[in-house]
Each structure stands twice: as C-alpha cells, then as structure tokens.
C-alpha cells in the first residue's frame, strides 16, 4: 500500500471513530463526560510492549485492541505474568509500558541499565476496588473501616482481631479464629494486603498464601473463619459472602456503580509507567498510547474490565503532571 493511500486510510479510520464518539457522546456513560474522545494526531508506526500482572491481562488486551483500531501499523506486544517485577529491575526500554497495581515507590520510577539511571515517568490511569469476602455462614453484616485506626479494617484494640467475636456477633458457641487468605508473596497484591493489616507496632498479619484468585475464593468458602479481599473487576463471586464496609456510619457496597464517588475506601491504584528522554518526553508511540488510555475511549476500556475510571479532578492532575495541554 502506498504511503498516500495509508495516510488516507488512517484519516478515514480516525474520522469514523471521532464521529462515532460524537454521536454516542456521554450518553453511554454520563460519568465520562469530562473525558474527551481520543483523536490521533498522525499515523504511527513503532513498537509497544505492555508488561504487568496476570490479573491485568484482559485490560491490556482491551487497550491494545482500541489503540490498534487507530494505529494498525504499531507492533503491539503484551507480557502479563503472575509476578510484577519492579520497574528498576527490568532492562530499560523506551518502548515498554508497565502496568503497576500499587502505590508508587521510588523503585517503580527508577530504571537502570547497570551503568546509567534511566528516568521513568508514571501516571494514575484507574482504580481497582477490593471487596471483603467471607464464608457464606459468617454472621457479620458489614465490616467497620476506621481511617484513624491501624489496621483500618479487622481492627480490635489497636491490633488485628484474632476472632470474629471481637468484631461483632458471636459466630458460634466457641470462638472462631479469623483466617486471612491472600496471594502468595510473589504477587503484586501481597504487599498491599500486608500493609493494610499491619498494626502500629509493626506486627504483620499471617496470610495464608494462594496461587490464584479462584483458589483463594474456594479456601474462604470452605473455612467458616475465612476472609479474603477480592477484586471487584473480576465480578461478584457466588461461593462466598461479600461484606460491605461501614465508613463513618455509612455502609458502602463495593459492587455499587457509585462506590467510588460514595467514598468506598478499599482500592488499589492502577498506574502506567514508561521511560522518558532527557527532555522528559515519552517515545512518540508511547505518548499517544498514554493519551489513548486517559481518553474517554481508554477509560471506557477500564470500565469494560470492571475497573473504575478517573474522576475529572484526577484526570486533570495527571494532565498537569505529564505536562500536557488539557485533553479535549
């Protein structure tokens, strides 16, 4: 195909998507009226490699599919494994985009090839809500979330509760010990759960490790004292009971479409990170991909996979952080 024909095809695809977004507008999802549709600036070619956890595989696929609809000449690879390696331990490349599902640390934004430090820039792109799940016969109606306590959940007299009776109604004639199920230490979520339930003295919780989410749910479903934290993005489980959180007297359901705006507190952020050059700019292909992710199109992909998109304020903060003009 000639270069002129490729350009004409590109603009035909771009205009079709723009008109589709104009016609659909925000009627499909009123909460995204603040996010502008993605408008490609020019035809692109090059490479993108997305690296992340196994749980983010489907989200990466949705973003790949959406981005390639605009830029079919981009070579787009996905490598999502169960273990998330910190950015700093991976050979730096201008074409690698990392999906990071935890609060950023210095290790996440520092790359090195062994001789020189490679500057990396990261931005928030969405949120993954986590639901507390317990055995179906657990008598608790909800769990209290105390923002001033440590731990903020399952807290009893300044430490993590040992039995369910310390948190609410007696479950049985005999005390039932709390069994905390979670991912194994090699998985990205392990540090989140450990940090969430460590008390002020630094005592860390005993986590019964599981290799997969399904294994974790099955374990809780077979243990009257079991509890785990399940990703809302993976859907409401049927084999366990979901416990809402009570925050300042208000009970919040993590599966409510308005959970985030209502102030549901248990979530983990989703970031993307990539290397930048000496001027602080991304590779042109990476730059356009991140613009896509922060556009209405990319944020709708988040929703399709069960994640929550950025609010108008959050989106504006990312635009400022990246040094971009407001995305329109």
Residue 31 confidence class, pLDDT cut points 50, 70, 90: low
Interatomic CA distance for residues 244 and 226, integer angstroms: 16
pLDDT at 1 over 90: no
**CATH code (residue 285):** 3.40.190.10
pLDDT per residue over 232-280, tens digit each? 988 899 999 999 999 999 999 999 988 888 999 999 899 999 999 888 8
Beta-carbon contacts of 215 under 8 Å, excluding residues fewer than 6 positions away, are none
Q: Are residues 190 and 118 located together in one domain of the fold?
A: no
Q: Are residues 241 and 306 located together in one domain of the fold?
A: no
Beta-carbon contacts of 317 under 8 Å, excluding residues fewer than 6 positions away, are 124
44 within 8 A of 71, measured Cβ to Cβ: yes
Q: Are residues 245 and 287 located together in one domain of the fold?
A: no
Within a domain: residue 78?
yes
pLDDT at 10 over 90: no
Interatomic CA distance for residues 125 and 26, integer angstroms: 19
- Where among 223, 252, 267 does a domain terminate? 267
Q: Are residues 133 and 254 located together in one domain of the fold?
A: yes
Q: Report cis status (omega within 30 of 0) of the bond before 62.
A: no
Helix axis angle for 3-24 and 57-70, nearest 10°, is: 120
Q: Are residues 123 and 136 located together in one domain of the fold?
A: no
- Where among 267, 287, 306 does a domain terminate? 267
Interatomic CA distance for residues 243 and 251, integer angstroms: 10
For residue 215 the two structure tokens come to 């294994």
Within a domain: residue 256?
yes
Write out the residue range of the structural domain in which residue 151 sits: 129-267
Centroid of chain to Cα 172: 37
Interatomic CA distance for residues 149 and 159, integer angstroms: 9
Interatomic CA distance for residues 164 and 156, integer angstroms: 10
pLDDT score, position 106 = 58
Q: Are residues 121 and 133 located together in one domain of the fold?
A: no
Q: Are residues 135 and 261 located together in one domain of the fold?
A: yes
- Residue 267's nearest CA partner among 204, 211, 227, 310 is 310
pLDDT per residue over 204-217, tens digit each? 889 999 888 899 99
Q: Are residues 240 and 147 located together in one domain of the fold?
A: yes
Within a domain: residue 328?
no
pLDDT score, position 109 = 59
Q: Are residues 7 and 22 located together in one domain of the fold?
A: yes
Average pLDDT over residues 188-217: 86
Within a domain: residue 149?
yes
Interatomic CA distance for residues 260 and 235, integer angstroms: 16
pLDDT score, position 97 = 94
- pTM, rounded to two decimals: 0.77
Within a domain: residue 54?
yes
Number of folded domains that form the chain: 2
Q: Are residues 121 and 134 located together in one domain of the fold?
A: no
Q: Are residues 233 and 297 located together in one domain of the fold?
A: no
- Where among 221, 244, 267 does a domain terminate? 267
Within a domain: residue 280?
yes
Question: Is the sign of the CA dihedral 182, 184, 187, 190 positive or negative?
Answer: positive
Q: Are residues 273 and 262 located together in one domain of the fold?
A: no
Q: What are phi and psi of 318, to 5 degrees?
A: -70, -40
Within a domain: residue 57?
yes
Within a domain: residue 327?
no
Interatomic CA distance for residues 312 and 328, integer angstroms: 12
């Amino acid at each position: 195909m000639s270069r002129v024909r490729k350009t004409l095809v590109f603009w035909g695809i771009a205009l079709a998507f723009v008109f589709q977004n104009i016609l659909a507008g925000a009627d499909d999802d009123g909460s995204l009226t603040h996010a502008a549709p993605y408008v490609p600036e020019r035809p692109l070619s090059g490479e993108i490699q997305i690296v992340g956890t196994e749980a983010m595989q489907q989200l990466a696929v949705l973003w790949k599919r959406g981005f390639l609809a605009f830029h079919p000449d981009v070579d787009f690879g996905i490598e999502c494994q169960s273990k998330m390696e910190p950015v700093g331990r991976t050979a730096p490349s201008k074409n690698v985009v990392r999906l990071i599902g935890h609060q950023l640390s210095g290790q996440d934004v520092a790359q090195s090839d062994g001789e020189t430090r490679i500057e990396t820039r990261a931005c928030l792109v969405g949120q993954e809500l986590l639901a507390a799940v317990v055995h179906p016969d657990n008598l608790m109606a909800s769990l209290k979330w105390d923002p001033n306590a440590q731990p903020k959940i399952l807290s009893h007299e300044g430490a993590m509760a040992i039995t369910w009776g310390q948190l609410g109604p007696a479950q049985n004639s005999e005390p039932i010990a709390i069994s905390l199920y979670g991912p194994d230490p090699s998985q990205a979520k392990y540090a989140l759960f450990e940090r969430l339930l460590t008390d002020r003295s630094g005592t860390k919780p005993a986590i019964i490790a599981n290799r997969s989410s399904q294994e974790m749910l099955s374990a809780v479903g077979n243990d009257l004292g079991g509890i785990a934290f399940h990703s809302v993005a993976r859907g409401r489980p049927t084999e366990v009971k979901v416990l809402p959180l009570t925050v300042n007297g208000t009970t919040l359901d993590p599966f409510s479409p308005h959970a985030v705006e209502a102030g549901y507190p248990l979530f983990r952020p989703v970031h993307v990170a990539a290397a930048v050059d000496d001027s602080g700019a991304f590779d042109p292909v990476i730059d356009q991909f991140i613009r896509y992710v922060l556009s209405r199109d990319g944020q709708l992909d988040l929703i399709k996979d069960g994640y929550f998109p950025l609010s108008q304020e959050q989106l504006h903060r990312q635009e400022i952080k990246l040094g971009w003009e407001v995305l329109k």
